[in-house]
Amino acid sequence: MSGMASDRSNSSQEEYIPHYLQKEDPFASKLSREADIIAGFYLTIIGILSTLGNGYVIFMSSKRKKKLRPAEIMTVNLAVCDLGISVVGKPFSIISFFSHRWMFGWIGCRWYGWAGFFFGCGSLITMTAVSLDRYLKICHLSYGTWLKRHHAFICLAIIWAYATFWATVPFAGVGSYAPEPFGTSCTLDWWLAQASVAGQAFVLSILFFCLLFPTAVIVFSYVKIILKVKSSTKEVAHYDTRIQNSHILEMKLTKVAMLICAGFLIAWIPYAVVSVWSAFGRPDSVPIQFSVIPTLLAKSAAMYNPIIYQVIDCKFACCRSGGLKAKSSLKKSRTYTLSAHRDSAAMNETQLE
């Protein structure tokens, strides 16, 4: 019986033909022209906002590059990844949506798929490194005493090497990049899992090393941070002002990192679910109109981060300005009290004379 089942699975894998080989033109749009135009306008707005926002973050960071803390260096790297997705990838898909077909052939498809996966993987691994940094900084205080800027740059080199390896593996014949079912975008060839055991091994490896494992590290790190913060809030209140200010800054950086990770995962998890469904579910079971929505949502992830930076920075600046105003008013009241005391003393001396 087991032999018959394996024969059936093998025969089904041999009979399966991916969507991009079922028709002569795999790059023709399967959506209506109106839907393509709406998607094109949507991606244009996302691309402009993402380019301006991440470009602004990089520009402002470059003005104080020698003063950037290790955690801030990592967030700048995240902005570089998001800017790369916006500049390198989005023009291809925008032009294709407006043209109602993919315009750049198989070479452009593979380049677009590689660039999207490279910068997307770089973003997720950067956030994984940031979450580990926050975890060690908050939960293991001795870690912060030896962490230097050059450690952050070593970490960046590892991140880029990791993303380059996994994005380039498909070109070694292990996997591939292919057009999306709706025709006007390209991605990893998830459908290889329907064709062979080697394709299943490739897809599972990508899912584990480029999604599940980094996400597990991120969730673990921030759960531990939340538990630690709840238990240590009262302890910090007994420290002097310098330590309290340092704690406030670390918590600010942690909030930024948590919000960025949450935004990224919310944007990409629906796409990952649909991809897994396409890879291991019934062939062609994902409706084409349904598959385009998670793709567009994932492409918007690069827009969120600059907004998060600005919201947290403005809130932090308001807190600091409020504290400075309070200190200034307190200083003024002390000066006024001293001067009034001196004036009253002078008047008493005059009356005695």
What's the DSSP call for residue 192? Answer: G
Each residue's pLDDT tens digit, 53-83: 999 989 988 888 888 888 788 889 999 999 9
Stronger pLDDT, 14 or 222, i.e. the higher one: 222
| 8 Å CB contact between 305 and 260 | yes
Stronger pLDDT, 152 or 255, i.e. the higher one: 152
Supply 122's token pair.
């770089």
88 Cβ contact partners less than 8 Å away, ≥ 6 residues apart: 115, 119
Give the count of beta carbons closer than 10 Å to the beta carbon of residue 222: 19
Report the domain count for the chain: 1
Chain centroid, CA 292 distance in Å: 20
Each residue's pLDDT tens digit, 287-319: 887 889 999 999 888 887 777 766 655 554 444
Does residue 198 form part of some domain?
Answer: yes
Supply 97's token pair.
């949506």
Does residue 11 form part of some domain?
Answer: no
Structural domain for 144, as ranges:
33-319
For residue 72, the model assigns a pLDDT of 82
For residue 291, the model assigns a pLDDT of 84
| 8 Å CB contact between 296 and 267 | no
Q: Where are the beta strands (DSSP E) in 176-274?
A: 177-179, 186-188
Least confident of 99-108, 306-315, 317-326, 330-339: 330-339
| 8 Å CB contact between 125 and 83 | no
Strand partners, 179: 186
Does residue 14 form part of some domain?
Answer: no
User: At residue 47, does pLDDT exceed 90?
Assistant: yes
Does residue 17 form part of some domain?
Answer: no
Q: Helical H runs in 182-300? A: 197-207, 213-236, 241-280, 288-299
Tell me how far apart the alpha carbons of residues 132 and 320 are, in angstroms, rounded to a whole number: 27
Whether the CA torsion 146, 152, 153, 159 is positive or negative: it is: positive
Q: For a pLDDT cut of 70, what percent of the chain falls above it?
A: 74
Does residue 3 form part of some domain?
Answer: no
CATH number, domain of 255, equals 1.20.1070.10
Residue type present at position 183: G
Does residue 142 form part of some domain?
Answer: yes
Q: How far are the Cα atoms of 89, 151, 314 from residue 299, in angstroms, in the given order?
A: 10, 31, 26
For residue 16, the model assigns a pLDDT of 66
Per-residue pLDDT band for 233 (boundaries 50, 70, 90) equals low
Supply 4's token pair.
């018959």
Per-residue pLDDT band for 346 (boundaries 50, 70, 90) equals very low
Tell me how far apart the alpha carbons of residues 182 and 114 are, in angstroms, rounded to a whole number: 19
User: At residue 281, does pLDDT exceed 70?
Assistant: yes
Per-residue pLDDT band for 97 (boundaries 50, 70, 90) equals very high
Strand partners, 101: 28
Tell me how far apart the alpha carbons of residues 123 and 120 are, in angstroms, rounded to a whole number: 5
242 Cβ contact partners less than 8 Å away, ≥ 6 residues apart: none
For residue 263, the model assigns a pLDDT of 84
| 8 Å CB contact between 278 and 200 | no
Chain centroid, CA 190 distance in Å: 22
Does residue 328 form part of some domain?
Answer: no
* Nearest by Cα to 31 from 81, 85, 84, 102: 102
Each residue's pLDDT tens digit, 112-133: 999 999 999 999 999 999 888 8
Q: Are strands 186-188 and 177-179 parallel, antiparallel or unpaired?
A: antiparallel
User: At residue 140, does pLDDT exceed 90?
Assistant: no
Does residue 74 form part of some domain?
Answer: yes
